[in-house]
Every structure is written in C-alpha cells, then in structure tokens.
Homo-oligomer: A and B are copies of this chain.
C-alpha cells in the first residue's frame, strides 16, 4: 500500500537495523484517517470473505482493528489481553507468546464467549516480525474452532522471516507494507 510505505519513509524512525518506530502515526499517536484507509485496503484484499469478527492484541493492535472494523460492516472487534500472571484458568482460551523484544514469555487470553465456532475471524496487528504474537492469536482461534480467514498486518519485516513461515503453513497474510531490508541507506520495500 503506497500510502503506508510513503508514510513510513516520511515519519518512521529506524533504530539500528531491525527496529522501526511508527509511534507518531500508528502507535502512541494515531492517524485515524490512515487507519481507516488501511482497513479499506484489507477489505479489498479479503473481498468475498464474510468476516464476522476481527481479533487483535492489546495495546497497539486495538486502534488499527477498530478503525478497520468499519470496512468490514462494523463487525465486532475482540482483543486478546496480555496476562500479568500465568495462572489464568476458567473460561478463557490462552496461548503463550515469546517476545524477542522484551525477552520474556507471557500468556495471552480471550474469554471463550467472544470467539465462537461459527465465527469467521480476521486477525489484525501492527507488526509482523518473527511471528510469535500472530502464532499465539492463531492458536486462540484454533482452540475456539472458529475459522481463520487470514491476517491483515500493517508492517511486515520480511527479513525476520516470521511471515513466510506462517504462509508455508497455509495461513493467508496480507501485509500493507513489506520491508525487505532496512540496514542500508534507506528502507526497501517488497512489491
């Protein structure tokens, strides 16, 4: 998506060769018009799919998912919470997620009542790097017996490999900006 790539080049901040900060428009400060346009693009890419629910993860996925929901007929948005403790039980689907950024493992969870077997779920998240968070969300959907329609990602760091591993497992991933490399003079995108 040209609009997002251009915005990344204009306002993204590279830190080293692997970290991209998008805090001024996609994270802590949000350009909601851009977010809605991203939602419209996912709608175009997933045309024909009857999405009944959007699933994301707190906190950075929530804004994108809510803005995108409009394009999917105002379907409900559900976000997985990151558990503070690992002793959650009861009526939750849970999965463990390893964070390479924070070098810790934590649990993510969704109440069972918010993911139903008849749901057709689109996953939305801001970043896809090694794919750990996305893999956890996919696990929650599989536990619920809902149908995973696919994943809409804002920024995929292709060079970190997580996206291609998930695609090899048959999961459809549509990333709006696919970064091939960012260790040179500029950020290079895949077409």
Which A residues contact B (CB, under 8 angstroms)? 23-24, 28-33, 35-36, 58-59, 62-63, 66-67, 69-70, 74, 76-79, 81, 110-111, 113-114
Q: A58-B59, A59-B62, A79-B59 are in contact. Are A74 and B28 (CB under 8 A)?
A: no
In angstroms, how far is the closest chain B Cβ from the Cβ of A53? 9
CB–CB A32/B74 < 8 A: yes
Which residue from B28, B29, B63, B114 sits with its C-beta under 8 Å from A29?
Answer: B114
**Complex CA distance for A76 and B35, rounded to whole angstroms:** 11
Please tell me which one of the listed residues B24, B66, B70, B114 contacts residue A114 in the complex, with CB atoms under 8 A apart: B24
Closest to A33 in B: B74
Instruction: Note all chain B residues with C-beta closer than 8 A to A30.
Output: 66, 69, 76-79
Residue of B nearest to A81 (CB): B28
Residue pair A70, B111 in contact (C-beta under 8 Å): no
Query: A144 CB to closest chain B CB, in angstroms?
Result: 13
Q: List 29 A-B contacts (CB under 8 A).
A: A24-B114, A28-B79, A28-B81, A28-B114, A29-B78, A30-B66, A30-B69, A30-B76, A30-B79, A31-B76, A32-B66, A32-B70, A32-B74, A32-B76, A32-B77, A33-B74, A36-B70, A58-B58, A58-B59, A59-B59, A59-B62, A59-B79, A62-B62, A62-B63, A62-B66, A63-B63, A63-B66, A66-B66, A66-B67
- Specify the chain B residue showing the minimal Cβ separation from A79: B28
Contact B35 A63 (CB under 8 A): no
Q: How long is the Cα–Cα vector from A18 to B114 in the complex, in angstroms?
A: 24
Known: A32-B77, A62-B59, A76-B31. A23 touches B111 (CB 8 A): yes
CA distance A32 to B79 in the complex (A): 13
CB distance from A54 to the nearest CB of B (A): 9
Given contacts A35-B66, A63-B66, A66-B67, are A110 and B28 in contact (CB under 8 A)?
yes
